[in-house]
């Protein structure tokens, strides 16, 4: 009966709620308890709902485990599966105790098929124990990725009351991970032939927007579920030059989670664009000082609205928009040509000052010598 009610409510929301909504109305349609949409290139937040609230991520944890393993180990390393990895509960790739598996294959099994056993095998291989691995993973996420409100107790996301994060931190972690080509390759893999000691099959990506219900521009995703977390999703997509990352946490049903992901991505592609300010672009402050961009600067803006760009006397470029949450700033370089000219001018002035000082000193010395001879001459005349 409960499932029937959820199905009817899903149908109701899908057909009766508007699909193309403004930012002010989006929160009313988002069914998940927490969610965020960011521009993957700029990191700017395009929409958020309870994005800083502490939540249970379930298997979205595996995104963090995967990028940590990719960046800190050799993908060809052979991992020996332990009894603990073999016995872990939940979704598995049915590893056998003592089986030796390349690290990359375990990451594939963990991301594509959400294998918890693969997650434990990775953790024990890299950290010695799952507990020590979690400590290393947390340190990595804070120091390298820059998250601030994440504390993981395991590599896979099975429930632990202390295993928490936020939609914001998950988006930031995914943004970081998507810069890695190995991660991107695995994250978007639709299916993979799997040959193991106990299981030979074809793995199919669990994220339905990648396979069963394809979304235009989809580039990857990860699903998650435990009773305490509800249904969780990470979804990435690209259209034209705009790359988006959507995270939704604690939806009551899988259908709601997917609807939220689609709503967020549609909202992003319908309303936003990424703008590039090319390297070398010059800006002049109110006091006449010229600054330039040392590299390409990218920022997000709403379609049909102009951004105001201004630089202060310290060389900080401010980008202000009608949607204040999109306001951002960048530190520019001083204009090298002008700096060089000013440097040469200062050097010339210093040289002139030194010459003038030397001339004055020479005059004083000569005047002193002349005065000395003059006094001696006076004495001789008087005598």
Question: Which residues have a catalytic role annotated?
Answer: 59, 62, 114
* Closest by CA position to 165, among listed 91, 247, 92: 247
Instruction: Please give the Cα distance from 267 to 280 (Å, whole number).
Output: 33
* Closest by CA position to 169, among listed 84, 82, 53: 53
Other Cβ atoms less than 10 A from the Cβ of 265: the count is 23
Phi, psi of 83 (to 5 degrees): -65, -35
Which residues lie below 8 Å from residue 152, measured CB to CB, with a gap of 6+? Answer: 61, 64, 134, 137, 138, 141, 163, 165
* Closest by CA position to 119, among listed 95, 143, 148, 144: 95
Question: Can you list the pairs that 216-222 forms with residues at least 24 positions away whose Cβ atoms lie under 8 Å?
Answer: 217/269, 218/188, 219/178, 219/184, 219/187, 219/188, 219/243, 220/178, 220/184, 220/187, 220/188, 221/187, 222/59, 222/60, 222/62, 222/63, 222/111, 222/114, 222/187
Place of tokens 């793995």: 203
């Amino acid at each position: 009966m409960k499932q029937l009610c959820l199905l009817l409510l899903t149908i109701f929301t899908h057909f009766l709620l508007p699909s193309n909504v403004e930012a002010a109305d989006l929160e009313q349609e988002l069914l998940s308890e927490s969610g965020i949409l960011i521009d993957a290139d700029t990191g700017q937040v395009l929409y958020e709902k309870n994005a800083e609230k502490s939540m249970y991520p379930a298997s979205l944890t595996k995104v963090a485990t995967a990028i940590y393993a990719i960046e800190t180990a050799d993908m060809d390393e052979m991992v020996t599966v332990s009894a603990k990895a073999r016995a872990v509960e939940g979704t598995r790739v049915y590893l056998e105790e003592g089986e030796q598996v390349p690290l990359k294959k375990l990451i594939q099994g963990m991301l594509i098929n959400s294998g918890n056993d693969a997650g434990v095998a990775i953790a024990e291989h890299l950290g010695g124990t799952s507990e020590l691995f979690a400590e290393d993973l947390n340190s990595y996420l804070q120091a390298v990725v820059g998250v601030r409100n994440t504390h993981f107790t395991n590599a896979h996301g099975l429930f632990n009351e202390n295993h928490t994060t936020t939609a914001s931190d998950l988006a930031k972690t995914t943004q970081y991970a998507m810069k890695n080509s190995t991660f991107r390759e695995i994250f978007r893999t639709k299916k993979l032939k799997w040959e193991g000691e106990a299981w030979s099959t074809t793995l199919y990506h669990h994220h339905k927007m990648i396979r069963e219900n394809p979304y235009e521009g989809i580039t990857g995703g990860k699903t998650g579920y435990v009773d305490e977390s509800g249904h969780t999703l990470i979804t990435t997509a690209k259209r034209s030059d705009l790359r988006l990352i959507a995270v939704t946490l604690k939806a009551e049903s899988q259908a709601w989670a997917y609807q939220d992901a689609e709503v967020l991505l549609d909202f992003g592609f319908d309303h936003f664009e990424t703008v590039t300010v090319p390297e070398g672009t010059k800006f002049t402050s109110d006091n006449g000082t010229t600054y330039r961009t040392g590299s390409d600067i990218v920022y997000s803006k709403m379609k049909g609205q102009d951004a105001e760009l201004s630089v202060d006397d310290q060389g900080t470029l401010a980008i202000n928009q009608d949607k204040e949450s999109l306001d951002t700033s960048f530190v520019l370089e001083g204009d090298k040509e002008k700096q060089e000219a000013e440097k040469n001018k200062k050097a010339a002035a210093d040289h002139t000052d030194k010459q003038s000082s030397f001339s004055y000193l020479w005059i004083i010395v000569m005047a002193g010598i002349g005065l000395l001879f003059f006094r001696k001459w006076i004495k001789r005349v008087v005598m």
